[in-house]
Structure 1
Amino acid sequence: MSRTGSDRQNTLVLIMFFAAGIVFLDRFGITFLFPPIGDDLDLNNSQLGSLVSVTAVTWAISSLIFAVLSDRWLGGRTKWMIVASLVLFSGAVGLIGLAQDYGTMLLLRAVIGFCEGPALPLIQGAVARASAPDRRGRDLGIVIAGTLLIGSALAPGIMIGLATALSWRLAFPLVAVPGLAVALLVAVFMREDRSTGTKADRIRARDFRLVLANRNVPLALVGTTVCIGASIGFGTFAAKYLDDEGFSKSTSTLVLTAYGCVIALGSVIAPAVSDRVGRRPALFVSAVCSGLVPLSFVLFAQSVPLLLVSLVVGLMAGGSLTLVTYVVPGEAVPRELVATAFALQIAVGETIGGALGPQIGGAVADATGSLTNTLLLYSAMPIVLAVVALLIRETAPCRTSKTTSPQVTRDTTGETALS
């Protein structure tokens, strides 16, 4: 790769790191304010879980609609769709502070999900198309690191800090501002290949069958559903669990920030490792570690030092979502269909896992009177992801190049089927 091409690739990845981070800050930042929101609006755990679930459902529907539109008609030219998504959901987030009851809050969360839905698959599709094969896993992981670092590690300090200094109602308009700033950044600095979006790049309707032609895609759908359900569910109730265990706001912020930082770092480390050792072993280890994270919260809730040390498993757990949702299916379809493949993973994963994960977790907590059982549920779910890791075909260039010729690799991933 030329120096110019490498610089452009790095610039794109950096921009998308911040764009994806803002998406998740605006989507999940509300979970860190569930204690005061629940008290103010008199909401139970099931209702709080539904605020996350409804966003997942509308996110799923929207992501698939606009990703197919992008691949079918725009040939991968997605810059202005990404900008529009950032502007619209930021505006919706700013209105959250005006909600006076559960119904209004639920409606606004549904709107946020629909406006945010297109962003991540289009962002990852742009990065996947631009990345060299030997660094695709790392680049996709860096983007996901943005969602975890900004939307998880920094979010507790941002959201809790603003709510403490001002109020939870004023926190939402303030966190909407960075979304508008990043939209401007994407509009000014993102470059798209002028050759994309031509008639030759646009695929036919019947070509979408190739998305499910490789067995890795349906297997990844199962893994993505479990991974999203467990991760979103755990993220929904982690702050409230620490609050129920008697953690102070400052200690909860410390633990959640440390957790977010480790997971964010892991989202880069695990995919980068998979570039060297293969997707299957990296995904298997990530799945096992994913189950250990919520278990650590339960086992070491009475000892903050031990809890912080145990979070080291997040260095591999953080890569599970990137690997199963983006890297594995992205290497199983033609490059012209990557956004659709990503959106399909998100649509199914969010609709089933993202919606049911928090809802079931909240119901379990209400039925048993303890969030501990909910966290144990999320600890067991990644077992399914580990089984998926054992069943997928290896797609990492470092492994497939040793056993197959370049032409066979192209046929396996469906690249030649569009010619």
Structure 2
Amino acid sequence: MSVTSPGHGRDLGRAGPDQQNTLVLIMFFAAGIVFLDRFGITFLFPQIGHDLRLNHSQLGSLVSVTAVTWAISSLIFAVLSDRLGGRTKWMIVGSLVLFSAAVGLIGLAPNYGTMLLLRAVIGFCEGPALPLIQGAVARASSPERRGRNMGVVIAGTLLIGSALAPSIMIGLASASNWRLAFPLVAVPGFVVALLVAILMREPRSTGADAPRVRARDFRLVLADRNVPLALVGTTVCIGANIGFGTFAATYLHEQGLSRGTTTLVLTVYGCLIALGSVIAPAVSDRVGRRPALFAAAICGGLVPVFFVLFADSVPLLLVSLGVGLMAGGSLTLVTYVVPGESVPRELMATAFALQIAVGETIGGALGPQLGGALADATHNLDNALLMYGAASIPLAVVALLIRETAPRRVGAATREGGPEASGEAALS
């Protein structure tokens, strides 16, 4: 196997600016629907927990089981995608249709066991979507726009799946009941699947220009030290983010905030994090991935701490959540941008899925479970949130240890005799 740098070999399939913008816009909505259907349930946990008589640990397991099945399927289908040369359109469409159907059935669940099974099915059907979406965006993006473009996709998950989700889910449940909210929220998934089927365009690669990914090539995914380091960071980041998201609404409810105030706080927080998922990667395109990830890690650790400190003062809490403008970039950078720039581009989807598989299996499964168990054992949900805040420490250490991959920074180093970014290489 050999590598060729861009401009010295075949066309790597980057799209023009208009095509990039169209693809990113479509995937913004697709990724947003994925996370709305995955995490929207957490905003109804107070009602679901009351009606089905569930404790914190059981509520946490409804999120954890989705993480495990999500991890398994994401890796399976990402490897298949790379073996097929990155042709992902119909896999993405199939994922959107299947998980939307499963979400619609949640409202029919009569007990905890049935809901747990349906959440497992949702995770398996949703798992392939995000690594395939990010793989398509990364392949089509020019180097100077890659961080921003991938950040916009993650902004969709945060804006739709976090910022708007409280208003959507709580509003639907208030207008009818929580059981009817799920089939209603499943409808946009079918609509977005249709849009992807109609509007998404894939590059045509045939003959000598077709990517040749062989089974032994997959060892290159772990060849760069950035990938195992990112695995640690992703695991911590996903565990803390999912854990905090699982209990944020419940925590504010237990602190005596009204449903309307809780919705306001979570919506503002979601909007700030969504903006941060674009701002931080865009900043990293200029200053480098390492300093941007370090700043994002520290800011991310402050968010749950501020919830504990300022829950009794909503104005102060809202102001303090301004750190989300940087915190929102941590997941994009450590899970997608850095690993994607550390492997040949034909293996990007596999690199992303490996991050998700490990991060979801360990962090996504243990994060909510450990937080719920700690809250039940100490009879205080504050301790769970503080635990999630402490997760910023190992993530910050990872940021200091990774090799810089930003094309602008690496390009300068290359001109001075440094190494070239492997993410700009291609299999041949």
TM range (shorter): over 0.9
Instruction: Provide, for residues 353-383 of structure 1, a one-character-per-residue CA deviation record: whole Å limited to 9, x for no partner.
Output: 0000000000000001011000000000110
In 2: Cα distance, 1:335 partner to 1:259 partner: 34
Displacement after TM superposition at 1:412 (Å): 4.0
AA aligned opposite 2:234: T
Matches for 1:337-416 after TM superposition, within 5 Å? 337-405=347-415, 409-410=419-420, 412-413=422-423, 415=425
3-state SS, counterpart of residue 333 of structure 1:
coil
Displacement after TM superposition at 1:410 (Å): 4.8
1:152 maps to what in 2?
162
Instruction: Provide, for residues 111-169 of structure 1, a one-character-per-residue CA deviation record: whole Å limited to 9, x for no partner.
Output: 00000000000000000000000010000000000000000000000000010110000
1:192 to 193, 196, 202: 202
2:118 maps to what in 1?
108
AA aligned opposite 1:284: F
Displacement after TM superposition at 1:197 (Å): 9.5
CA distance 1:196–1:151, shift in 2 (3 Å): farther
Instruction: Give the TM-score of the pair, scaled to structure 2.
Output: 0.95
2:7 maps to what in 1?
none
Determine what percentage of the aligned residue pairs are the same residue. 81
Displacement after TM superposition at 1:200 (Å): 3.3
Instruction: Give the TM-score of the pair, scaled to structure 1.
Output: 0.97
Aligned 8 A contact 2:341 2:424 in 1: no
Matches for 1:208-227 after TM superposition, within 5 Å? 208-227=218-237
1:95 to 94, 99, 105: 105
1:321 maps to what in 2?
331
Aligned 8 A contact 1:75 1:197 in 2: no
1:39 to 20, 31, 50: 50
Displacement after TM superposition at 1:272 (Å): 0.2
Displacement after TM superposition at 1:397 (Å): 1.1
3-state SS, counterpart of residue 95 of structure 1:
helix
Matches for 1:6-45 after TM superposition, within 5 Å? 6-45=17-56
In 1: Cα distance, 2:266 partner to 2:421 partner: 44
1:330 maps to what in 2?
340
In 1: Cα distance, 2:57 partner to 2:346 partner: 40
Runs ≥4 in structure 1, deviation > 6 angstroms?
Answer: 196-199
1:61 and 2:102 correspond: no
CA distance 1:189–1:367, shift in 2 (3 Å): same
Q: CA RMSD in A?
A: 1.6
Displacement after TM superposition at 1:415 (Å): 2.3
Matches for 1:115-264 after TM superposition, within 5 Å? 115-195=125-205, 200-264=210-274
2:8 maps to what in 1?
none
Aligned 8 A contact 1:29 1:156 in 2: yes
Q: How many residues in Structure 1 have an aligned counterpart in Structure 2?
A: 415
3-state SS, counterpart of residue 43 of structure 1:
coil
Structure 1 unaligned spans of 5+: none
1:265 maps to what in 2?
275
